[in-house]
């Protein structure tokens, strides 16, 4: 048994830590969020130089190895700093789908561009009535000779307004929730018939609602075999689920640390509020929650990297997301409560962490969804 990081992983972790500590404080983040694109393109190019954009890809595709443990180690630091750059949508979701479903030509065309920082992607899968069920797809793709026509509305498209290409999950055949008949198409964001309504999420990340009206793409824009994408989509979303669970675990630890620090300096009744046992025990419970969250995320990442059985992997992912969602509730609410009024203000980072983890709690399915999925698998 060995829970230590390899030398390579330690270097990756240090590189991310160094960046967020030196170049991503709360005020810098606020400036980035207020900028036109809502993320820093300069940072993105730096991520490419540092090799971070290769982490999600296999060595065969020229990447760092697509290890889930590598991924969570980065996401953890991103979570603490509330990073808004579209790392998950472009590399884990978009890149993940190309890598899982794409032909050799498609992989060779797009993956190097992603790793070089020259291609932004977004995955348009969720719909108004799909909730968290990935096989609930009403967006249609009608093939006519060499051309495909796409119609439908997608919600919660992370990075949708900054993406060059959208990976659109659409139905070629079957009923609304059938697992068969679902395909993924790569669509240019500026293709005629694509309208993008951009907005900022509660966690400061850019997102969009995207409608497709008679959007024409070539059949060659399909990733993988017609109507057979659901398995790969689930695998990719599972990996992203572990990524955001790690992001949340990092953010929760930041909230705990800030709460403990604040309780040592905030004085009421002539003493630091951290001396009150009623509050001490609650911070201890926050700590325990953080440890459970972190541990189950590590477990999920290890299973993704080493388990042979797909069901075992999926159960590990749902277990992690379910448990992290529970930890999010307790830790984030207690952090705000113990800060008091100041924790509710826009000026303090703890409140923004609260908003970040609230979003992460539902990303790719909330606790109830993943508990039910765990039980059903």
Partner 1 sequence: MNADFTAEELAFESEVREFLGAEFPSEYRDKVDANIRLSKDELVNWQKILYRKGWAAPNWPQEYGGTGWSATEKYIFATEMGLIGAPEPVPFGMKMVAPVLMAYGSDEQKRRFLPDILESNVWWCQGYSEPNAGSDLASLKMSAVRDGDDYIVNGTKTWNTYGQYADWIFCLVRTDNSVKKQEGISFLLIDMHSAGVSLKPIYLLDGYPEVNEIFFDEVRVPANNLIGEENKGWTYAKVLLTHERTNISGVPRGKRRLRALKRIASDTDDGFGGNMMENSTFKNKLAETEIELQALEYVELRTLAALSVGKAPGPESSILKIVGTELAQKMDELFVELAAYNCLPFLPEQFEDGFQGNPIGPGTAASSALVYFNNRKLSIFGGSNEIQRNIISKAVLGL
Q: Which residues bind partner 1 (CB under 8 A)?
A: 126, 128-133, 136, 155-156, 176-177, 197, 199-204, 207, 209, 267-270, 278-279, 329, 333, 336-337, 340-341, 343-347, 351-352, 354-355, 358-359, 362, 366, 368, 371-372
CB 88 within 8 A of CB 243: yes
Q: State the CB neighbour count (10 A cutoff) for residue 311.
A: 9
**Between 129 and 147, CB nearer to partner 1:** 129
Tracing tokens 């800030």 back to the chain, one arrives at: 258
Of 9 and 136, the one with the shorter C-beta distance to partner 1 is: 136
Closest approach, Cβ 198 to partner 1, in A, equals 10
Q: Look at residues 247, 308, 307, 304 and name the one whose alpha carbon lies nearest to residue 80.
A: 247
Shorter beta-carbon distance to partner 1: residue 92 or 217? 92
Is the Cβ of residue 111 or residue 182 nearer to partner 1 in the bound state?
182
- Kindly tell me which of 221 and 237 has the beta carbon lying closer to partner 1: 237
Q: Which is nearer to partner 1, 64 or 78 (CB)?
A: 78
For residues 299 and 292, what is the distance between their CA atoms, to the nearest angstrom? Answer: 11
SS (H, E, C) 94-146: HHHHHHHHCCHHHHHHHHHHHHCCCCCEEEECCCCCCCCCCCCCCCEEEEECC
Tokens of 203: 């966690």
Longest dimension (CA), the chain: 79
Taking the complex as a whole, the smallest distance from the CB of residue 112 to partner 1 amounts, in Å, to 32
Helix (H) or strand (E) run with residue 321 in it:
helix 310-339
CA 184 remoteness from chain centre:
19
In the numeric block, which tokens belong to residue 70?
Answer: 């590598």
**Residue 239 and residue 18: Cα distance in Å, rounded?**
25
Would you say 18 or 131 has its CB closer to partner 1? 131
Q: Smallest distance from the beta carbon of 68 to partner 1, in angstroms? A: 24
Residue nearer to partner 1 on the CB measure, 66 or 229: 229
User: Using an 8 Å Cβ cutoff, are 336 and 343 in contact?
Assistant: yes
Q: How far apart are CA 128 and CA 163, in angstroms?
A: 21
Q: Nearest CA to 120 among 18, 41, 6, 236? A: 41
Angle at the Cα of 191 from the Cα atoms of 205 and 175, rounded to 5 degrees = 80
Place of tokens 């309504």: 197
């Amino acid at each position: 048994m060995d829970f230590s990081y390899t030398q390579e992983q330690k270097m990756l972790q240090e590189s991310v830590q160094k960046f967020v500590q030196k170049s991503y404080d709360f005020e810098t983040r606020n400036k980035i969020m207020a900028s036109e694109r809502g993320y820093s393109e300069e940072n993105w190019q730096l991520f490419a130089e540092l090799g971070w954009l290769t982490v999600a890809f296999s060595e065969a595709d020229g990447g760092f190895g697509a290890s889930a443990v590598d991924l969570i180690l980065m996401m953890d630091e991103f979570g603490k700093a509330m990073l808004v750059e579209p790392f998950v949508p472009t590399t884990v979701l978009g890149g993940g789908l190309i890598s899982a479903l794409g032909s050799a030509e498609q992989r060779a065309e797009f993956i190097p561009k992603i790793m070089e920082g020259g291609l932004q992607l977004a995955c348009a899968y969720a719909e108004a009535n799909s909730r968290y069920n990935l096989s609930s797809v009403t967006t249609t793709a009608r093939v006519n000779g060499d051309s495909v026509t796409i119609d439908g509305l997608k919600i919660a498209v992370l990075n949708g307004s900054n993406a060059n290409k959208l990976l659109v999950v659409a139905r070629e055949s079957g009923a609304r929730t059938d697992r068969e008949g679902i395909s993924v198409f790569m669509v240019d964001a500026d293709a005629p018939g694509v309208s993008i309504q951009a907005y900022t999420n509660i966690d400061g990340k850019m997102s969009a609602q995207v409608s497709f009206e008679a959007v024409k793409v070539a059949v060659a824009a399909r990733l993988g075999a017609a109507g057979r994408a659901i398995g790969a989509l689930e695998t990719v979303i599972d990996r992203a689920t572990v990524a955001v669970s790690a992001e949340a675990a990092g953010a929760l630890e930041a909230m705990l640390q800030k709460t403990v620090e604040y309780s040592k300096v905030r004085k009421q009744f002539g003493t630091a509020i951290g001396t009150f046992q009623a509050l001490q025990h609650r911070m201890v419970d926050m700590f325990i929650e953080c440890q459970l969250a972190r541990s189950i995320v590590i477990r999920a990442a290890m299973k993704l990297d080493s388990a042979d059985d797909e069901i075992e992997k999926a159960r590990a992912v749902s277990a992690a997301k379910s448990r992290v969602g529970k930890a999010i509730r307790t830790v984030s609410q207690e952090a705000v409560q113990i800060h008091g009024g100041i924790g509710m203000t826009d000026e303090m980072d703890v409140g923004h962490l609260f908003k970040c983890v609230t979003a992460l709690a539902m990303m790719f399915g909330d606790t109830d969804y993943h508990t039910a999925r765990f039980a059903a698998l």
